[in-house]
Structure 1
Amino acid sequence: MLLCPPKARSRLRRLPHFWLLHSSEIFPMADLNDAMSDPQGDPEGLGLDLAISPAGRVYLEIAHGISGAPAAPAATRIRKAWERGAAHGLLQLGAVELVTALPPSLAFGREFAHLFMVRLTALAALAEDWANVELPAPRAELEQLAAAAPPMTGAEYLDGPVLDAWWVDMHTAVREDIAASGCAIDSWLRGKHPSWNLVGRVCFHLAENKGNELAPFAFLATCASHVSKDARVQHVPLGRALHNYSQAQDRAGLLKLLLPVHKAAERSPWLKSLVDEGKVFHPLAWSPPEAHQFLRNVSLFEASGLIVRIPDWWKPRHPPRPQVRVQLGQHASGIGLATMLDFKAELTLDGEALSEEEWRHLNAAGDGLVRLKGRWVEVDREKLDAVLAHWKTVQRSAAADGISFLQGMRLLSGAAIEGDAPAAPAETTAEWSTVVAGDWLHDALAELREPGAGPDPQPELLAQLRPYQRKGVQWLWWLNRLGLGGCLADDMGLGKTVQVLGLFSLAKRERDPGPHLLIVPASLIANWQAEAARFAPHLRLLVAHPSVIPAGDLAALSRHRLADVDIVVTSYASVARLPWMADVQWSLVVLDEAQAIKNPGAQQTRKIKTLSSRVRFAMTGTPVENRLGDLWSLFDFICPGLLGSAATFSRFVRRLADSEHVDYAPLRRLVQPYILRRLKSDKRVIADLPDKTEVKAYCALSRVQASLYQQSVEALATQIETLEGIERRGVVLAFLMRFKQICNHPSQWLGDGAYGPHDSGKFARLRELTEAIAARQEKVLVFTQFQEMTGPLAQFLHGVFGRSGLVLHGGTAVKARAALVEAFQHEQGPPFFVLSLKAGGTGLNLTAASHVVHFDRWWNPAVENQATDRAYRIGQKRNVLVHKFVCRGTVEAKIDALIEAKLGLSNQIIEGGGETLLTELDNDELLRMVALDIGSAMVEAKAG
């Protein structure tokens, strides 16, 4: 399916994988709401956006809550076109909706499709048998288009090859569409939009005439008469073509031939005078001013249906011009965001400085086409002088200390968010000047793009880093040395944790005074403790959380008590509850799952942004660069000021959305140095990955779960005192089952059917995990050994993904299973599949999933591995990430630890098949095994 229906998007505002450019949930402040007002759109309240799947396919998102939708008639036309397929949808945008107001993602689709249509009309004009001639994709232009794409769902998958594939699909769709219409191509084009009226056989040629100094250019209008057998286009002078049509008394052909000339003359008084005087039908020798008039009208001629051939040194959108080159950061003073960059402005041509003599020559030559350094360039003295004066003013103001690092980075990217160059019009400044990095800044940015050899965190770090992980550590270390913040945004499963531990290890070796602050969701504290103990035991961790330190002692902690600590680990909620954290001068502050601060108006976000630190880092597995609201809030933490204030950034975004041409490239260039994102689909990464990665997902217990669990432990202790033999074994097995059910959800044991999401720590962890999976548009298998859990899990996941999933258990008809598998395997099929372990553990091929969740444990790795292999099998082209849920402080954690340690008891359990041999433990051993460690089990209940 290419359409995402409204009912399936009813919970859109809860989903992280939808980019809501104008959403008040992203920018809750009043000034942002005002700046991003919602134009009148579909009366049903539905918005439209383009999105890209992980396979590179473009599809249309239809959802409530997306603002900036086209007006109702256009929205209906666009939706109907997309129902026919993606290529037809793009064709609608580029061939029909030429003047329709569109949101940025649809405007990007229109720009791509419009480029295709321009090339198609040129092909149809020159080749009689156009349908059998290939239309090659313009690779360079498509790469530029991909770089300038606006944020949208799946934008991380967009590149030149993806647009190449769209191009091929569009050509196929056009052939099919024209064949189905039964019309000639010119009639088909007229049916799309009046501007596509195809006459297109008239060609205007401009060439250099180097033998004539007074008239160094030659003009000729021709008609493309036919295509030879070797596929070369044959031209005749336009005057001769007119004569041939007259002799043949082909009035219709004559009108068709002259129509684009007439249309262009109506819009260009200069061309009209040539046509009225009959000069356009004969070869002409032109002076530079005449040639310049022609070149300035090229876009107009092409829009009228004329074919234009000009010298390759002239680019209509970027003509050759002398420019003011601004060089920033040849040297630097200071460090971090306080760095000041030196500033130098000079007049150049193609990067070469102009001499005094060349500058005088420009002054004497006047405007238009001027010969400079052996080439023709365009000169507009008024604009050039204004831009030069502007930059000289900036240079004088920066003469003493230079300009700020943040202002320099905005100037370098071309994203003038704060109005960094207010004295000259922004458009004029961009056309007649360029900003380049000096030696120091160039080298610094080059190191960020491709970190060189740096200190190795080993041997202190007890991990064998993969090459891309080593680069990640070097990138973090280089930013740390520069005093700049950054965001490590690698895909889930690529090892962000070990990379950050590598950074902490290097900081300790280099005698960074610390302490460092690591802020994580409460549910991940145990994960970080386990990973640090495994890979970096030399780091001294203090967990500042009520689950480890009593609340009174925690509130009384001071800077003095942190003297012997390398890293303080705490939760997001604890930062807001512990005022002393804002009084400490931290060296590094690192946020894990940094999407937690995406709402800039939330109290938690504001508290975290008040922390004092030398450098700030963020970690996230979701594509923050595709959500402008999230992006601003994230950078307001890691690089405060780079994207300006919330109000100025929203105005900047609005200007981008309202501009005629879709171009988000400056914004991408601005943030790119501070985001390191590697995808599992990247060939440079995937070759370095294991096919399957298993990770533990530690879960807390809710208060209800902890209370029920403790009551069950006490009841078990009472009952087994007087029981023996088979009766005792039966009771133990029943209680072990009860413990599992309580760990899953209290409602499973109580049988009340409520299944409140907040009553289960596993449900909370599942939400965190699957929100990231949904943001990546990936698919997940969720296994449980309990059939009664499949329904509640499916209902819960429907709320996370905003779409229905699939369920398979022992009660599912055998005949229905093949259809379920086929639906899941489809690219646009359901995003999740909940399966009971026995029914779905064998015989199914579910390679569309790149994640496997074992919601509850079978306590038999062989059985779990069989289930995992539904995704990890022949035909799987992605790395599979396996998440095994374990409730801390419970029998689940203790048995998992035994299995990991491969101790005798765990081997007996594995070989004996689960819980059976636990019944053979004596009473004391059994009670120790099932006892509740309340401190570690109730992290989130004590403080989130």
Structure 2
Amino acid sequence: MFTRTLDRLVNALSKERLSAAETDITTDGLDPVQHQWINTLQEKEDSIDSDSKAISELQEQLDEWIRPPVTGDKQGVRLCFQLKESEVDTDLLASESEVKPVVPDNWTLELLLQSEDDPSLVVEASALLESDHSTSKALARHLNCPTEILRNELKRASTHYPPLKRDLNRSNPTAIELSNSDAAEFLQEYADVLREAGFGVILPSWWGETPQRLGTRMVVSDTDDEFETTGGGLGIEQLCEFNWEIVLGDDTVSEGELEQLSTLKRSLVYFQGKWVSLQDGDAKSAMDLLHREEERTLEEVLQSDTEISDDAPNLPVVEKRLEGTFRKLFEQDYEEWVDEIDTPSGFDGKLRPYQKTGLGWISYLEDHGFGGCLADDMGLGKTIQVLARLVQERSLDPLVGPTLIVCPLSVVYNWKSEANEFTPGLTVHIHHGQNRMSGNNLVSAIEHHDIIITTYGTARSDIKQLRDIQFHRIVLDEAQKIKNTSAGRTQAIRSLSAHLRLALTGTPIENRLSELWSIMEFCNPGLLGSERQFRNAFSQPIEEQGNVEKTEQLRQLIRPFVLRREKTDKSVIDDLPEKSEKKEYCALTKEQATLYKAVVDEIFEQIEQSRDIERRGRILKLINNLKSICNHPRQYLNDDQRINGRSGKLTALDNLAEKIAANDEKGLIFTQYTQMAELLMEHLQGQGYRVFYLHGDTAKEQREEMIGKFENTDGSCLFLLSLHAGGTGINLTPANYVIHFDRWWNPAVEKQATDRAYRIGQENNVQVYKLICSGTIEESIDQIIESKRDLADQVLIDSDEWMTELSDEELRNLVSLSTDSLI
């Protein structure tokens, strides 16, 4: 009863799948009963109309077909196929005055037995059949019935390679004669099928060398009279001069030779001293391409050999040969096409050599109409390089239009201050605050100032006014602010109009490649295709599969438009002090450990009984509570009990603060929790330390005052900062200690915060301490962070959300308290 029901179920499912298939199953070469069986599966016939003997034979054939390979009686050998190519009279071809393709039709597929342990050991089937052959005698001593093994293997192979069936009835087949089309079919399809089924396959050496199929070479050059105009270039919308060449390997194929190939109806052709695989329509496609008249933009050219392109030729693009300016940009390192530009007149300061190169890079790109992303390490002076460019371009064209600077609120006055200091000849207008201008007054203010500074929030709020104004340039500072491609802020910024676009960021990719796409879409719209195209062509292959080829392809695409230098590179800057990083492991107090374990047990019981949104919410609550307990019980309990003696981290901080004060030095302390920052402020001031505290609600006047006092105060002092309020855009180089009291769990964000101190102007070695409670969720996450730093291998951690997708067992392993975590 059960068996009949199962048979019916399998039969119904098979028919449903096959009847829904878009293409018919090939039935060529099948006998009538096999043909009927296929038709019943596709519901083209109701039943098999044949005698019981034929049906029994079909059953045996199907049993043999689905039976897994039996290796136990093969005695360590397997059937191997060796394809031997047609012999070509090369002497005759050499005497011909004209190179012509030839199409020999005598291919041979030889049968061999091959050792499974050592594939280099093979015996021809013909040798097995000669009883007096030395090889046959030797095999007889080691194998039982080698000819029987050969027959059984041939029978098994015929289910994977149907042309073998016609040879099964031969008494002792040793080789199979193939036509030209049969050989092509074997090479292109069945060789891989047989390999996957466990058979040996030996192919001609040329099949594994450079692709022996017709391909295309795109030769691209710029139109000099349009492209080399200062500031007037069209960027990636520039029309290119290009033509197609048809190639075979490294050799160019002439139009006459293509005409000869197009008249042939063979799949394999001996041509120009090598075998060529001619796929259907290849020669015709090549002829059509040579006669195609078209124009393409640089954007289309760059995407021509990627999956972004919707207009790729039918033939593979095997080479893209760039000439002129394009070759400089895309095939050479920037040092080869960028010249240092001396500190321009009107710039009150001295540019370092790498900053002169940065100025040259910005100038070169902008003179050719391109946008760029200046991704120098934090502290290398991106602001300075931009201001130098603004002065330099006005020395060439005094009537150049205004530049809009969009930046976080925390650095608005830093931009104004540095502009006043280094470029006093440029006029600055700040568009921010409740009393900011609007309407015609705003338009007039923009027209009469060189630099307009606004915030991301203000730009979004005033987008209806700002997008109607044509700026000469838009500069995004901390450009990672537009990493969320669908956010209203990002959409608003992209809708602004400007001839030139420049992004500044020390972290062009914090976590996902989509962030890079968003920044590049701002700088050079269309370069990386649509977001969907980019995701399919690059993000998924790189982030999910670690695809090295795609990683290199993407690197080449963005190479000219992203300039990244690091402080640790002595060829960039050799007078920056050293930076040392240390993880300070802290043991929990007994109170912390008791609270930690109780919270895990209590909330975990709730997690196990909840689903979906409710479960995710409880996991996030668990994580936040555990992080609070690791910091200090008072942060979790919100009590008014004593501070001292209750937290292992606080004890570690006390030791560091004592060391800083003893050496008359200064330190930065970062935490992501306002409540914890206030608790630390109370504690440190109670210990007699001079402490400043900067958070998101600090007024700009108070912010500037505190930064000034910290910089100018003689003696030791500490600066408490919330990670986001103090993590970007401010310079705190008097500090030579950086302490991360709790972790953001994103290396890029932590590095930004550290670089408030480790940047140009720092004269002392910087010591970075990251406090981690051992045996807790903090140590578990830190280990994960260390294993996921390379985006090309795996995506970095951005937030706590990913933990909500863990199974109960995985989550418990992550948060469980280790027994050696107590003080």
Q: TM-score when scaled to structure 1? A: 0.48
Residue number among 396, 414, 423 corresponding to 2:306 in the alignment? 414
Show CA shifts across 1:766-818 (max 9, x none). Answer: xxxxxxxxxxxxxxxx9xxxx999549998xxxxxxxxxxxxx96367xx7xx
User: Which residue of 1 is the match for residue 673 of structure 2?
Assistant: none
SS at match of 1:622: coil
Between Structure 1 and Structure 2, how many residues are aligned? Answer: 542
Show CA shifts across 1:262-309 (max 9, x none). Answer: 554322223555666578745x88775554344223322322223444
CA distance in 2, matches of 1:531, 1:793: 42
Contact preservation (8 Å) 2:514, 2:539: no
User: Which residue of 1 is the match for residue 360 of structure 2?
Assistant: 474
Task: Kindly state the Cα deviation for residue 520 of structure 1 after the two structures are TM-superposed.
Answer: 0.5
Contact preservation (8 Å) 2:114, 2:200: no
User: Which residue of 2 is the match for residue 525 of structure 1?
Assistant: 412
User: Which residue of 2 is the match for residue 320 of structure 1?
Assistant: 212
Task: Kindly state the Cα deviation for residue 571 of structure 1 after the two structures are TM-superposed.
Answer: 0.6
User: Which residue of 2 is the match for residue 247 of structure 1?
Assistant: 140
User: Which residue of 2 is the match for residue 838 of structure 1?
Assistant: 654
CA distance in 1, matches of 2:565, 2:420: 27
Paired residues for 1:639-650 under 5 Å: 639-644=524-529
CA distance in 2, matches of 1:891, 1:659: 46
Q: Compared with structure 1, are the counterparts of its residues 546 and 790 closer, same or farther at alpha carbon in structure 2 (3 Å cutoff)? A: farther
Show CA shifts across 1:30-69 (max 9, x none). Answer: xxxxxxxxxxxxxxxxxxxxxxxxxxxxxxxxxxxxxxxx
Task: Kindly state the Cα deviation for residue 612 of structure 1 after the two structures are TM-superposed.
Answer: 1.6
State whether structure 2 residue 645 is matched by structure 1 residue 811: yes
Q: Compared with structure 1, are the counterparts of its residues 223 and 462 closer, same or farther at alpha carbon in structure 2 (3 Å cutoff)? A: farther
Contact preservation (8 Å) 2:407, 2:478: yes
Contact preservation (8 Å) 2:567, 2:576: no
Residue number among 464, 469, 473 corresponding to 1:584 in the alignment? 469
SS at match of 1:345: strand
Q: Compared with structure 1, are the counterparts of its residues 687 and 328 closer, same or farther at alpha carbon in structure 2 (3 Å cutoff)? A: same
User: Which residue of 1 is the match for residue 159 of structure 2?
Assistant: 266
Show CA shifts across 1:3-49 (max 9, x none). Answer: xxxxxxxxxxxxxxxxxxxxxxxxxxxxxxxxxxxxxxxxxxxxxxx
- Structure exhibiting the larger radius of gyration computed from Cα positions: 2
CA distance in 2, matches of 1:600, 1:812: 44
Residue number among 419, 432, 437 corresponding to 2:322 in the alignment? 437
Contact preservation (8 Å) 2:485, 2:491: yes
CA distance in 2, matches of 1:491, 1:623: 10
Show CA shifts across 1:232-276 (max 9, x none). Answer: 954443555795697358569988888876554322223555666
Contact preservation (8 Å) 1:329, 1:341: yes
Contact preservation (8 Å) 2:282, 2:315: no
Residue number among 224, 237, 240 corresponding to 2:124 in the alignment? 237
User: Which residue of 2 is the match for residue 300 of structure 1?
Assistant: 193
CA distance in 2, matches of 1:403, 1:793: 65
CA distance in 2, matches of 1:524, 1:255: 83
Show CA shifts across 1:500-553 (max 9, x none). Answer: 34433433343361311110011222343455456x334625241446xx7155
Please give the root-mean-square deviation of Cα atoms over the aligned residues, in Å: 5.2
Residue number among 425, 430, 434 corresponding to 1:544 in the alignment? 430
Paired residues for 1:550-569 under 5 Å: 551-553=435-437, 557-562=441-446, 565-569=449-453
User: Which residue of 1 is the match for residue 401 of structure 2?
Assistant: 514
Residue number among 570, 575, 588 corresponding to 2:454 in the alignment? 570
CA distance in 1, matches of 2:506, 2:151: 58
Q: Compared with structure 1, are the counterparts of its residues 644 and 810 closer, same or farther at alpha carbon in structure 2 (3 Å cutoff)? A: same
Q: Compared with structure 1, are the counterparts of its residues 278 and 270 closer, same or farther at alpha carbon in structure 2 (3 Å cutoff)? A: farther
CA distance in 2, matches of 1:682, 1:657: 27
Q: Which amino acid aligns with 1:320?
A: Q
State whether structure 2 residue 488 is matched by structure 1 residue 603: yes
User: Which residue of 2 is the match for residue 340 of structure 1?
Assistant: 239
Paired residues for 1:431-830 under 5 Å: 431=316, 435-446=320-331, 452-458=337-343, 471-493=357-379, 495-511=381-397, 513-532=400-419, 536-538=422-424, 540=426, 542-546=428-432, 551-553=435-437, 557-562=441-446, 565-578=449-462, 580-624=465-509, 627=512, 629-644=514-529, 664=550, 668=554, 671-673=557-559, 675-676=561-562, 678=564, 680=566, 690-692=576-578, 790-791=631-632, 811=645
Contact preservation (8 Å) 1:195, 1:303: no
User: Which residue of 2 is the match for residue 932 of structure 1?
Assistant: none
Show CA shifts across 1:815-857 (max 9, x none). Answer: x7xxxxxxxxxxxxxxxx88864234589xxxxxxxxxxxxxx
Task: Kindly state the Cα deviation for residue 861 of structure 1 after the two structures are TM-superposed.
Answer: 7.4
Q: Which amino acid aligns with 1:481?
A: D
- What's the % identity of the aligned pairs? 23
Contact preservation (8 Å) 1:324, 1:388: no
Show CA shifts across 1:570-624 (max 9, x none). Answer: 1112223445433432111111222322344443333322222111122233354
Residue number among 708, 726, 729 corresponding to 1:897 in the alignment? 708
Task: Kindly state the Cα deviation for residue 480 of structure 1 after the two structures are TM-superposed.
Answer: 0.8
State whether structure 2 residue 281 is matched by structure 1 residue 358: no
CA distance in 2, matches of 1:618, 1:668: 19
CA distance in 2, matches of 1:659, 1:862: 49
User: Which residue of 1 is the match for residue 597 of structure 2?
Assistant: none
CA distance in 1, matches of 2:561, 2:171: 60
Q: Compared with structure 1, are the counterparts of its residues 211 and 379 closer, same or farther at alpha carbon in structure 2 (3 Å cutoff)? A: closer
Show CA shifts across 1:59-104 (max 9, x none). Answer: xxxxxxxxxxxxxxxxxxxxxxxxxxxxxxxxxxxxxxxxxxxxxx
Q: Which amino acid aligns with 1:375?
A: K
Q: Compared with structure 1, are the counterparts of its residues 244 and 591 closer, same or farther at alpha carbon in structure 2 (3 Å cutoff)? A: farther
User: Which residue of 2 is the match for residue 331 of structure 1?
Assistant: 223
Q: Compared with structure 1, are the counterparts of its residues 623 and 553 closer, same or farther at alpha carbon in structure 2 (3 Å cutoff)? A: closer
CA distance in 2, matches of 1:195, 1:678: 58
Task: Kindly state the Cα deviation for residue 368 of structure 1 after the two structures are TM-superposed.
Answer: 2.1
Task: Kindly state the Cα deviation for residue 405 of structure 1 after the two structures are TM-superposed.
Answer: 3.0
Show CA shifts across 1:354-387 (max 9, x none). Answer: 2344224323444222222222221125233146
Gaps of 5+ in 1: 1-192, 695-781, 796-808, 817-832, 844-857, 869-883, 916-944
Q: Which amino acid aligns with 1:359?
A: L
Paired residues for 1:9-20 under 5 Å: none
Q: Compared with structure 1, are the counterparts of its residues 642 and 618 closer, same or farther at alpha carbon in structure 2 (3 Å cutoff)? A: same
Contact preservation (8 Å) 2:216, 2:316: no
CA distance in 1, matches of 2:70, 2:559: 42
- Structure having the larger proportion of residues in helix: 1
Task: Kindly state the Cα deviation for residue 320 of structure 1 after the two structures are TM-superposed.
Answer: 1.0
Q: Which amino acid aligns with 1:544?
A: I
User: Which residue of 1 is the match for residue 297 of structure 2?
Assistant: 404
CA distance in 2, matches of 1:476, 1:682: 22
Task: Kindly state the Cα deviation for residue 897 of structure 1 after the two structures are TM-superposed.
Answer: 3.5
Q: Compared with structure 1, are the counterparts of its residues 895 and 341 closer, same or farther at alpha carbon in structure 2 (3 Å cutoff)? A: closer
SS at match of 1:267: coil
